[in-house]
Amino acid sequence: MLSNQQLKEFQQQLQQTKQELEERLNDSGNHDLRRSLEDSTGELSSYDNHPGDEGTELYEREKDLALSEHDRDEIRDIERALSAIEAGEYGKCEVCSKEIPLERLKAIPTTTYCVEHTPSQETSDNRPVEEEVLGPPFGRFDYDDRHESVAYDAEDSWQDVASYGTSESPSDFVNPPNDYEDMYVESEENVGYVENYENFVGVDIYGKEVTVYPNSQYEELKEELFEENIQTPFGDLPRYEHDPYVDEEKD
């Protein structure tokens, strides 16, 4: 339990810090937030300016807002601690009423919580507010595996555009592509079909009488199956009656 002398020292320290913060806010004009953005740039209006032309000023304004918010939060915490001193509750956790160690109070005089119940341990998982406005299909669209969709979404749009070329090079990838035409996400993805064999295998209306229409992909799959010693979902690949690849092998 804190002695009266210790309580007095903490009270004086908190009051002094509060006074310094209030003076800083007043002398800086609330971190220059009392001036409009136009005043800081010397412009009569920002209406006809491109946002990029005011990038530095916008950055400084965001920094000033953060500093102002931080100072005001600190003042609020100080007032909370001073109220606890007046109520005779300073040095006790608001949640469990356990004694807060003196070392913790010296490090953070404004705290009214023990280590186990301090709110600062809670990590916010809030997403940017823009995501509440930008809904599917043009909200979060980096990868389909987050929300698998067969609809034409923003990722598909980007793939179509990126197929014409991007500024990326093989060195930008963990697993470098073999071709400069594949410098975008999931460039190997099949378009118009799912499995490779769907591009050269046909069946009747009942899913029977499998017919193979040989092409380069057909040959690639045959080689892969032969090397891995596996079969397709419907067994060995049947031979097409007039398979030019088969004819070449016979010759």
Maximal CA-CA distance, the chain: 105
Highest-confidence segment of 85-94, 134-143, 160-169: 85-94
Comparing C-alpha atoms, which of 227, 237, 230 is closest to residue 199? Answer: 237
- Domain 4-121, CATH homologous superfamily name and number: DksA, coiled-coil domain (1.20.120.910)
Domain boundaries, the chain: 4-121, 145-189, 196-250
Tell me what the pLDDT averaged over the chain comes to: 77
pLDDT per position as a tens digit, 30-60: 777 777 766 666 666 666 666 667 777 788 8
* C-alpha span between 135 and 176 (Å, rounded): 32
Residue 114 backbone phi and psi in degrees, to 5: -80, 175
Whether the pLDDT of residue 213 is over 50: the answer is: yes
The residues facing 99 across adjacent strands are 92
Per cent of the chain over pLDDT 70 is 72
* C-alpha span between 10 and 62 (Å, rounded): 33
Range scoring the smallest mean pLDDT among 51-65, 129-143, 199-213:
129-143
Taking each helix axis from N to C end, the angle separating 55-86 and 4-27, rounded to the nearest 10 degrees, works out to 150
Helix (H) or strand (E) run with residue 201 in it = strand 201-202
Per cent of the chain over pLDDT 90 is 23
pLDDT band at 205 (very low <50, low <70, confident <90, very high): confident
- Position 242 scores a pLDDT of 43
What six digits make up the tokens of 168? 């990326």
